[in-house]
Amino acid sequence: MAELQLKSYRFRAEREGDWRRLEALLAKVGRGSAKSLSDEELLAMPVLYRQALSSLSVARATSLDQSLVDYLESLSSRAYFFVYGTRSTLGERVSGFFAREWPAAARALWRETLVSFLLTLAGVIAAYFLTRHDPDWFSAFVPGDLANGRGPSASTEAMRATLYDNNGGKGLSVFAAFLFTHNSGVAIFAFALGFAFCLPTAMLMAYNGCMLGAFLAAFAMRGLGFEAGGWLAIHGVTELSAVILAGAAGLRIGWTLAFPGDLSRPAAMAQAGRQAATLMGGVVVMLFCAGILEGVGRQTIQNDFARYGVALATLILWPVYLYMPRGAGAGR
């Protein structure tokens, strides 16, 4: 025991000066930033870090006292985050998210996005024709709170007022707000339920499409299909795109859980989780934009062609932004 203590004392005496210097530099950075270090100190940091790692390796191999090992582990961990950690400002992180991370996640999940879109489209088509054939199907697809009297049994005047009457139509804002809340909830659940091996997410995408198809069919039966399409599209292109992307994120999680591929399941899930979480961050942004379009554009723009013009612009802008090829520098 006395010999071990002597070895530990000599070991510490020979190297402690470098440890203390490294600790002092880390404390200086903690009080300010990396900019507070001189050029000489910046160059010394990696050297001192490697020396600390070497000391830690020797201390573990020769079974020196545990308190010294704990100290070196803590010191090495702190130095590692300085030497190799990401040091970026909030502005840089935000710009990186919009310029690289979100579009990269969308491109990585393009297959799941296509599946999510096709499920939604299938629901729209099926519910549209079922409701046109038998109006009773409307109540099976559209919740009563969402319909709020706007269904196959409503008069043409009442349905038209839903689309254009801003002054006296209190129900207009209530209806639109309920629709936005519904789609936001669908986006969240589509992502969260992906852990159940994709099936709930797929069903949710199809059901959301059914609700939209039945809604359009109810207006088309009153000769207002074109008008209803413009009312929905001005904010619905962005809103439904967000829901479809959320569905894609859920599908990626569920598929990876079931079929991890060449990676181990934890490693595959960690990779899929990062991509899906990044994509969901973009979904939040899209829902925010949809809320602005719904609250301002839809209520102030009363011309059908102008509504379709705004919808067409968003239909072009979102895919171009998310899937446009980027140079090699944008991926770093």
What's the pLDDT at 137? Answer: 94
What's the pLDDT at 332? Answer: 39
Domain coordinates of the chain in residue numbers? Answer: 2-87, 93-331
Average pLDDT in the chain: 86
Comparing 160 with 248, which gets the higher pLDDT? Answer: 248
What's the pLDDT at 39? Answer: 83
pLDDT digits (tens, 9 = 90+) for 36-79: 788 888 888 889 989 999 888 888 887 667 788 888 899 988 88
pLDDT band at 190 (very low <50, low <70, confident <90, very high): very high
Closest alpha carbon to 88 in 132, 134, 33, 135: 33
pLDDT band at 29 (very low <50, low <70, confident <90, very high): confident
Percent of the chain with pLDDT over 70: 88
Residues sharing a CB contact under 8 Å with residue 52, sequence separation 6 or more, in sequence order: 18, 19, 22, 72, 75, 76, 79
What's the pLDDT at 4? Answer: 55
- Judge whether residue 110 has pLDDT over 80: yes
Give the pair of three-digit tokens for residue 297: 């554009």
- Judge whether residue 248 has pLDDT over 90: yes
- Judge whether residue 172 has pLDDT over 70: no
Q: How far is CA 34 from the centre of its chain?
A: 31
C-alpha span between 229 and 234 (Å, rounded): 9
- How many helices (DSSP H) and strands (DSSP E) are in the chain? 15, 0
Per 3-state DSSP, what percentage of the chain is helix, strand, and coil (rounded to 5)? 85, 0, 15
Give the pair of three-digit tokens for residue 11: 């070991």
Comparing 287 with 61, which gets the higher pLDDT? Answer: 287
What's the pLDDT at 162? Answer: 79
